[in-house]
Structure 1
Amino acid sequence: MNGLAPEPFDVSSWLTAWRFDIVGVVLSLLLLGAYAWLLVAARRRGVHWPWWRVAAYLVIGVGMLFYVTCGPVGVYRQTFLWMFAAQVAVIGTVVPMGLALGDPLRLLSAALGPDDTRVERAVRSRVVRALTFPLVSFLLDIAGIMAIFFTPYGEHAVRSELVGTVLILQLLIVGLLFVLPTLADDLLPEWATPPVRTFLAFLDGVADAFPGILVMTANSMLLPHFPGFSPAADALRGGLSHTMDQKYAGGALLAVAESIGVPMLAAVFIEWIRSDAAEARATDAELDRAEQHRAESAHRTAAPEAGPANDDKAEQPWWLSDPRLADRFGNRDD
C-alpha cells in the first residue's frame, strides 16, 4: 500500500517481487501464534490434532494471506487492477477456506477443556446465529465484492492504508462467516444437514462468479481513479490498456471463485462422509448397548429358576452335602 511497483512486471516477479506489508505481517503472525497456542494447550489435555488440518491452516490460510499481501500480488496491487482483484478474491475466498479447514473453533474447545462452555455459548448466541445464517452471510459476501468494484470503496482501499486494512478485515471476517458454518456441524440450524451444506457450497461457487462476470463485461471504467491508470504508471504496465486491465480483473475474480469452488465442494463432501461415519458408529454403539442390556435382563430373569434347587440343597445337613459321607448317612437313613 506504499505506491506503485518499483519496476515493470515480468515472469520472474512472481518469485522475486516482495515487500514488507505491516498489515499482512501482523495478521499472519496473530493467526499463526493463536493457532500454535491452541495446539499446545490441546496437546496438554491429551488431544492430538490431525496434521492435515494444521497443514491446511498454515499453507492455504496463513501462507496465502502472507503471499498476497507481502508477495507480488501485494507489490503490484496498485499498478494493475487485475492484481488488486486477485488479492480481493484470494483474501475473501481462499484464505477463509484454509483457516476454516484448520477447524479453529473445535480446537479452541479442545484447548479450553470439556467443562468450559464459553465457545458453545458464543456460537449459540443470537448475533452469531444471525450472521452465520446462510442467506445473511451469502448476501454480505456478494454485497462486499460488488461494493469494492462498483463504488468508490475500492479506490479508497487502494490509496488509504486505513481503508485498505478495513477491506482486508472485512474480506476475512465475511469469508469466515460463510465458510466456517459450511464446514462445521454445529454453527448452522438443524435443517442444514451435510447434503444441504454441500448444496450451499455449490450455490456460493456459482454466485461468486457474478461479480467477476459483471466486472469483465462492464462498458465503462469502474475505478477511473485507480492509481495504476495514472500516467506515472504507464512505464510499469507494459502497454496493458486500462480497458483490458479491467477485463483481466473480472477474469481474476472469476478464476479464483471457480478454482476454489471444487476444493470447497470436496471439503464439504468429505465432512459429509465423516459425519455419516460418526453417526454410523454412534448407532452401532447404541445397538450394542441395547443388546447387552437385553442379555443382562434375560440372565437376571433366568437366574431365579435355579433358586429352589439351590435352596433345598442349602437346607440339607452338612453331612449330606459332603460327597464322601452322603452315601454312608444316606443309606443309614434308609
Structure 2
Amino acid sequence: MAATDNPGTGTSRRDDTNAAVDPTTAVVISVAAVATGLIALIIALAAGGAVTARVIPGLPDAGPVTRWGLPLSKNAMDVAAALTIGLLLLAAFLLPNDNGTPSTQAVGYVRAASWAGLAWAAAAGATLVFRLSDTLGQPPLEVLGDQLSSYAGQSAQGIGLTVVILLATAVTLFGRTVVSVSGTIALLGIALAGVVPPALTGHSATAGSHELAITGLALHVLAICLWVGGLAAVTFHALRPRAEHATLAVRRFSRFALWAYIGVAIGGAASAVSRLYAVHELFTTPYGRIMLVKIALFGVLGYLGWLHRRSVVPRIAEVSGRARFARLAGGEIVTMAAVVGLSVALSRTAPPPPAESEVDPVTALLGFPMPPPIDAWSLLTLWRPDLLFIMVVVLLGGLYAAGVVRLVRRGDRWPWGRCVAWASGLLVIVAMVLSGFGTYAMVLFSTHMLQHMALSMMAPLLLVLGAPATLALRALKPARQRGDRGPREWLSAFLGSAFAHTVTHPAVATPLFVLSPYALYFTPLFQALMSDHLGHMLMNVHFLATGFLFYWTIVGVDPGPRKIPFLLRILLLLLTMGMHAFFGIAIMMQSEPIAPEYYAQLEIPWSSSVGEDQYTGGGIAWALGELPTLLVTIALVRQWARDEERAERRRQRHSRREGSDDADMDAYNAYLQQLDRQARGER
C-alpha cells in the first residue's frame, strides 16, 4: 500500500499498514470474549434461579433443554445483533468514503454484516421456539407447527421476535447488494430497529413507570449494541495487516464511544428505577445483585475507555500505540462480553414484585395512579419524567445552543428572534408532555386534544422559525478529508435527496398534516394506540413530525429542495386551517364516544361525562387553529416582502452589469422614491 498522506488526521496511511500486532490476537480476543460471556451468563442464571427452579409435580415443565437453550439462544441473538450493527457502523461512518462511495474494505464489512445478520435471524428463530416452549411448558419439538405460528402472530413477545427475524433477514439479503454509503446507513437503521422489539415486550412492558421503563430499556439496548459492536468491528479492523484508515477509524469511534457510554448509563439508570422499588432491593434480591455486578463492570468499562482516550488514541498511529490498543481493546471486549451475558441473565430473572399485594388496574394501564380532579395547580405540579421527550428537548436545545455559541465565537451573527422561537417551541413540548398536561392527556380527551393541537400546530411552527438546518450548515465544520462526508456533508446531501424532495412536496406534506387526524380519531386506531404507552408516545412523535414537515414546507426559512410560490403557500394555509376547523366540528357532532372501551377502563370518579369531555375536546380543536394561522400569516407576509426586496436588488445589480437596459424602470422607481421622500417631509 502506498504511503500517501491522510488529510485531516496528520498521519499517513503507512501508519495504518505497519502495525506490529500478531494476527492471532483477534482470535485470542474472540475466544476469550465468548468464554467470558458464557461463564458470566451461567453464573448469573444460577444465582438468579432461572435454571435451578424447582419442578412442581402436576405443572407443565419445558425441561432442561429449554431452561438452558432460551438464555443461550438469546445471548447468541444479542451478540449477533451487536456484531451486525458494529460492522455497518464501521462501514458507514467510521471509515472515510469518496463522495458517498465506500472503500473496498468498507464494502467487505457490509458483506460481513450480512453474514452476521444471518446468524442473528437464526438465533432469533431459535429464541422464538424456546420462548414458546417455556411459555407452554412443553419440549421445543412439540411446539413446532400451528402453535408456533399462532404465537408468532398473536402474542406480543412472539410478534416482537418475528419482527426481529424479518429485519435481520432483510439485512442479510440487502447486505449482499449494497454498494453505497447511503444504502449502508439504511441497513444500519434497519438493524437498529431490529433490536428494539424484544426490549419493548419484556419486563419493561409491565413495569410501573412506562415512561422510564420502555424508553430507558430501548435506549440501553441501542447504545450497548452500537458500543459493543462498534468496538469489536474497529478492533478487528485495526488488527488487520493492511487495514485502511485504521487510525482515523479508532479516533472517530473514540469520540462516538463517549456518547454511547452516556446512553448506556442513562438507559440503565431509567430501567433500574422502573423495576426496583427500594434501594435495599439492590442487595436483598437476586435481580438487584446481578444488577450490582453489571454496574461494577460498567464502571470498569468507563475506566478502560478513559485510558483509551488519554493514553492510547493520541498515539494510535505509532507501532507501540497499536500494540497497546490491541491489549486494552481486548480487555474491554472481554468485559463487554461479560456484561452482555449478565444482561441476558437479567432478562430471565424475575424483578422484585411491587410492595402492594394488589395491582391497581388503572395504574397498570396508565403507568401511574388516577390523578386528582383537574385544576390549575394539578396542571403545574403533576410532572411525569417521560425519558424520550426529556432527551429530545435536552439534545435539541443543547445542539442549538452549541451552534449559536460557535457562530458568536467566530464573529458571525445569528438573529435572536430565531433563538427565541426555537426555545419557545421546546418549552411548548415540555409543557404539553412532561407537565400535568401530559398526565391528564392520558385520562381526559379534552386535555389530549389540547396536547395534540399544541404538538402539531404550535411547537412545530416555532421550531421551524428557529431555522435549525441553516444554523447547522453554518456552524458545522466541513469534513477534514477531501471527498469524505461529515455531519455537514450528510445534512446537505439529505436536504437535496430524493426523499426530502418527495416529503416536502405540498401534495405529500399537506395531506399528512390534514388527513392523519381523521384517520386517527375516526377509526379504531386511536383506541389501540391509547391503550399502550408506546402507541401514545408514537402519536406524540407523529404530531411533531407531520407538523414540522408541513410548516417547514409552508413557512420554513431553511434551504429546501424546492421553492413554493408565496401565493400557493397562503392558499395551502387557508385550506389546511379550514380542514382543521371542520375536524373539530366533526368531533363535536359525534353522537358516540371516541375510544369508548379505553375510557371505560378508567372510570374517572371526578369526571361527569365522557361525551361532554369529548365535546370540549372538539371545541378546542376547532378554536386553537386561530393563533398558528395568525403567526404563519405574519411570517409569510414578511418573507414575501423580503423576497421581493431581494429580487429588486438582484434586478438592479443585473441592470447595472448589463448597461442599464431597464433604465426606464429604474427612473420610474427613483421618481416614486422621490415622491415618498417629499410626502414624508410635508408630514
Smaller-chain TM-score range?
A: 0.7 to 0.9
Report the counterpart of residue 585 of structure 2 in structure 1.
Answer: 213
How is 1:170-319 mapped onto 2 (pairs within 5 angstroms)? 170-184=542-556, 186-187=559-560, 189-190=562-563, 192-227=564-599, 229-230=600-601, 232-235=603-606, 237=607, 239=608, 241-290=609-658
Q: Does 1:165 align with 2:537?
A: yes
Deviations 1:103-156 (A, max 9, x none): 111112212369965444322221111111112111112232123212233223
Q: Are residues 219 and 276 of structure 1, via their aligned partners in 2, closer, same or farther at CA, if it must alter by over 3 Å?
A: same
Q: Give how far 1:55 is off.
A: 0.2
Q: Give how far 1:18 is off.
A: 2.6
Contact 2:372/2:378, CA 8 A, preserved across alignment? no
Report the counterpart of residue 135 of structure 1 in structure 2.
Answer: 507
Q: Give how far 1:65 is off.
A: 0.5
Please, what TM-score do these two structures have when normalized by structure 1? 0.78
Deviations 1:150-201 (A, max 9, x none): 22332233332211221122111111111112123653645x2122222222
Please, what TM-score do these two structures have when normalized by structure 2? 0.40
Size of the aligned set, in residue pairs, is 287
Q: Are residues 128 and 75 of structure 1, via their aligned partners in 2, closer, same or farther at CA, if it must alter by over 3 Å?
A: same
How is 1:95-174 mapped onto 2 (pairs within 5 angstroms)? 95-112=459-476, 118-174=490-546
Contact 1:209/1:253, CA 8 A, preserved across alignment? yes
Q: Give how far 1:245 is off.
A: 0.9
Which protein has the larger Cα radius of gyration, Structure 1 or Structure 2? 1
Q: Does 1:39 align with 2:39?
A: no
Comparing 119-128 with 99-108, greater Cα deviation is found at 119-128
SS of match in other structure, 2:552: helix
CA distance in 2, matches of 1:23, 1:114: 30
CA distance in 1, matches of 2:407, 2:555: 21
Contact 2:443/2:602, CA 8 A, preserved across alignment? no
Contact 2:530/2:536, CA 8 A, preserved across alignment? yes
Task: Give the partner amino acid of 2:391.
Answer: V
Q: Are residues 7 and 107 of structure 1, via their aligned partners in 2, closer, same or farther at CA, if it must alter by over 3 Å?
A: same
CA distance in 2, matches of 1:128, 1:70: 31
Q: Give how far 1:9 is off.
A: 1.0
CA distance in 2, matches of 1:267, 1:114: 31
Q: Which residue, out of 384, 387, 396, partners 1:19? A: 384
Q: Give how far 1:37 is off.
A: 2.5
Identity %: 25
Q: Are residues 99 and 183 of structure 1, via their aligned partners in 2, closer, same or farther at CA, if it must alter by over 3 Å?
A: same
Q: Does 1:48 align with 2:438?
A: no
Report the counterpart of residue 73 of structure 1 in structure 2.
Answer: 437
CA distance in 1, matches of 2:625, 2:642: 26
Q: Give how far 1:261 is off.
A: 1.4
RMSD over equivalenced CA pairs, Å: 2.5
Task: Give the partner amino acid of 2:502.
Answer: A
Report the counterpart of residue 311 of structure 1 in structure 2.
Answer: none
Q: Are residues 40 and 262 of structure 1, via their aligned partners in 2, closer, same or farther at CA, if it must alter by over 3 Å?
A: same
CA distance in 1, matches of 2:451, 2:585: 17
Q: Are residues 253 and 222 of structure 1, via their aligned partners in 2, closer, same or farther at CA, if it must alter by over 3 Å?
A: same
CA distance in 1, matches of 2:406, 2:367: 39
Contact 1:201/1:268, CA 8 A, preserved across alignment? no
CA distance in 2, matches of 1:197, 1:113: 33
Contact 1:4/1:76, CA 8 A, preserved across alignment? no
CA distance in 2, matches of 1:118, 1:46: 25
SS of match in other structure, 1:18: coil
Task: Give the partner amino acid of 1:72.
Answer: G
Task: With a CA cutoff of 8 Å and minimum separation of 6, indicate the structure with the bigger relative contact order.
Answer: 1
Contact 1:21/1:70, CA 8 A, preserved across alignment? yes
Contact 2:444/2:613, CA 8 A, preserved across alignment? yes
Q: Give how far 1:54 is off.
A: 0.6
Contact 1:20/1:70, CA 8 A, preserved across alignment? yes
Task: Give the partner amino acid of 1:131.
Answer: V
Contact 1:78/1:226, CA 8 A, preserved across alignment? no
CA distance in 2, matches of 1:200, 1:133: 12
Q: Are residues 92 and 111 of structure 1, via their aligned partners in 2, closer, same or farther at CA, if it must alter by over 3 Å?
A: same
Contact 1:92/1:172, CA 8 A, preserved across alignment? yes
Report the counterpart of residue 93 of structure 1 in structure 2.
Answer: 457
Deviations 1:228-283 (A, max 9, x none): x4463123x2x2x1111111111121222233211122122221122222222323
CA distance in 1, matches of 2:470, 2:371: 44
Contact 2:500/2:561, CA 8 A, preserved across alignment? no
What runs of 5+ residues in structure 1 fail to find an aligned partner? 293-334
Contact 1:47/1:110, CA 8 A, preserved across alignment? no
Q: Are residues 156 and 106 of structure 1, via their aligned partners in 2, closer, same or farther at CA, if it must alter by over 3 Å?
A: same
Q: Are residues 210 and 169 of structure 1, via their aligned partners in 2, closer, same or farther at CA, if it must alter by over 3 Å?
A: same
Task: Give the partner amino acid of 2:547.
Answer: G
What runs of 5+ residues in structure 2 fail to find an aligned partner? 1-365, 480-487, 661-683
Q: Give how far 1:84 is off.
A: 0.8
Q: Are residues 167 and 183 of structure 1, via their aligned partners in 2, closer, same or farther at CA, if it must alter by over 3 Å?
A: same
